[in-house]
A and B are shown apart, each in its own frame.
Chain A
Amino acid sequence: MILEVDKLQIHYSTRSGVARAVDGASFVVPEGRIVGLVGESGCGKTTAVRAIMGVLAENGRQAGGRVVFKGQTMDEATTRRLRWRDIAYVPQSAMSSLDPVYTVGSQLVEVLTKRGTHSRASARARSAELFDLVGLSERRLADYPHQFSGGMRQRAAIAMALALEPSLLLADEPVTALDVIVQRQILDVLRSLQQRLHLSMVLVTHDISVVAYLCDEVVVMYAGQVVESGPVREVLARPRHPYTMGLRNAFPDLLSDALELVPIAGSPPDLSEPLSGCRFVPRCPFAQPACSIDSVVTGSDGHRSACRRDAEADTIRTAALDPRTWQRSSSFAMS
Chain B
Amino acid sequence: MAALVELRDVVKHFPVTRSLSELVRGAHPAVRALDGVTFDVGDGDAVAIVGESGCGKTTLGRLMLKLVEPTGGAISFAGAPMAEITGEKLRAFRRQAQLVFQNPFDALNPRFTIYRAVVEPLINAGIDKAEHADRVASAFRRVHLADFDRYYDRYPHQLSGGQLQRVVMARALVLGPRFLVADEPVSMLDVSVRAGILALLREVRETMGLTAVYISHDLALVRYLCERTLVMYLGRVVEDAPTEEIVRRPRHPYTQALVAAVPVPDPDQSRAPLPIKGNVPDAREPPSGCSFRDRCPHAMPRCATETPALKPVAGGHQVACHLDTPTSP
For the complex, give the distance between the alpha carbons of A25 and B305 in Å: 60
With A213-B271, A263-B196, A335-B192: A183-B261 Cβ-Cβ less than 8 Å: yes
Is there an interface contact between A267 and B194, defined as CB atoms closer than 8 Å?
Answer: no
With A254-B219, A333-B145: A184-B263 Cβ-Cβ less than 8 Å: yes
With A233-B268, A261-B199, A334-B163: A213-B192 Cβ-Cβ less than 8 Å: no
Which one of A181, A188, A207, A251 has the highest number of Cβ atoms from chain B below 10 Å of its Cβ? A181
Does A152 sit at the interface, judged by CB under 8 A? yes
| 8 Å CB contact of A254 from B53, B190, B247, B268 | B247
Is there an interface contact between A263 and B199, defined as CB atoms closer than 8 Å?
Answer: yes
**Interface membership of chain B positions 76-118, coded 1 if the CB is closer than 8 angstroms to chain A and 0 otherwise:** 0000000000000000000000000000000000000000000
Is there an interface contact between A236 and B195, defined as CB atoms closer than 8 Å?
Answer: no
Within 8 A of B (CB), among A180-236: 180-185, 187-188, 206-213, 232-233, 236
For the complex, give the distance between the alpha carbons of A288 and B266 in Å: 30
**Interface membership of chain B positions 261-285, coded 1 if the CB is closer than 8 angstroms to chain A and 0 otherwise:** 1111111110101101101100000
Q: Please, how many residues of chain B have a CB less than 8 angstroms from a CB on the other chain?
A: 46
| 8 Å CB contact of A210 from B263, B266, B276 | B263
B248's closest neighbor in chain A, by CB? A255
Which one of B191, B223, B259 has the highest number of Cβ atoms from chain A below 10 Å of its Cβ? B191
For the complex, give the distance between the alpha carbons of A264 and B269 in Å: 25
Residue numbers in A under 8 Å from B187 (CB-CB):
177
Q: Please, how many residues of chain A have a CB less than 8 angstroms from a CB on the other chain?
A: 51
B274's closest neighbor in chain A, by CB? A184
Say how far B221's CB is from chain A's closest CB, in angstroms: 5
- A interface secondary structure, majority: helix
Residue numbers in A under 8 Å from B263 (CB-CB):
180, 183-184, 187, 207, 209-210, 212-213
**Interface membership of chain B positions 142-172, coded 1 if the CB is closer than 8 angstroms to chain A and 0 otherwise:** 0011100000000000001011000000000
Is there an interface contact between B223 and A209, defined as CB atoms closer than 8 Å?
Answer: no
Is there an interface contact between B280 and A259, defined as CB atoms closer than 8 Å?
Answer: no
Is there an interface contact between B267 and A263, defined as CB atoms closer than 8 Å?
Answer: no
Within 8 A of B (CB), among A231-262: 232-233, 236-237, 246-255, 259-262
Is there an interface contact between B268 and A179, defined as CB atoms closer than 8 Å?
Answer: no
Does B323 sit at the interface, judged by CB under 8 A? no
Does A96 sit at the interface, judged by CB under 8 A? no
Does B208 sit at the interface, judged by CB under 8 A? no
Residue numbers in B under 8 Å from A250 (CB-CB):
191-192, 194-195
Within 8 A of B (CB), among A159-187: 177, 179-185, 187
B144's closest neighbor in chain A, by CB? A333
Does B40 sit at the interface, judged by CB under 8 A? no
Does A40 sit at the interface, judged by CB under 8 A? yes
| 8 Å CB contact of A248 from B145, B220, B258, B265 | B265
Residue numbers in B under 8 Å from A333 (CB-CB):
144-146
Does A149 sit at the interface, judged by CB under 8 A? yes
Interchain residue pairs with CB less than 8 A apart (11): A149-B279, A181-B276, A185-B274, A213-B263, A237-B267, A251-B265, A252-B221, A254-B259, A261-B195, A333-B144, A333-B146
Q: Which residues of B contact A (CB under 8 A)?
A: 52-53, 144-146, 160, 162-163, 187, 190-196, 198-199, 217-221, 223-224, 247, 257-269, 271, 273-274, 276-277, 279-280
- Using A332-B196, A333-B146 as known contacts, list a sample of 10 further A-B pairs with CB atoms less than 8 Å apart, ordered by residue number in A: A149-B280, A188-B273, A212-B265, A236-B266, A250-B194, A252-B221, A253-B266, A261-B199, A262-B195, A330-B146
